[in-house]
Amino acid sequence: MEIIKLIIGLGNHGLIYKNTRHNLGFITLEYLSSNYKIKLNKRACHSVYGNGFIEDKGVILAKPWTFMNLSGEAIKSLLKKFSFSPSEILVICDDFN
């Protein structure tokens, strides 16, 4: 069984989307960041991210700075940068897949 090492919250930037269901991923990531004191203060791979611990497991939280339709590029870059496999990520969005 793989362990989740990268949690990606999807959303769109701008006030028009701020408190809409389209930003569920951003909202969830901000909650996790605040609750587990993981600062999202690093920038790379078209994303802002931070690393820390959730329940004693090392994890990276990331918010792509691309619009939703282009988030695959950011995710692909993050996987490559950190050498994670797709089975080690959790993507939070406003839909079930």
Calpha distance 68→94 (Å, rounded):
10
Out of 13, 22, 46, 81, pick the active-site residue. 22
Calpha distance 77→53 (Å, rounded):
22
Q: How many CB atoms lie within 10 A of CB 8?
A: 23
User: Is 46 annotated as catalytic?
Assistant: no
Per the listing, tokens 């490559």 go with 80
Positions marked catalytic: 22
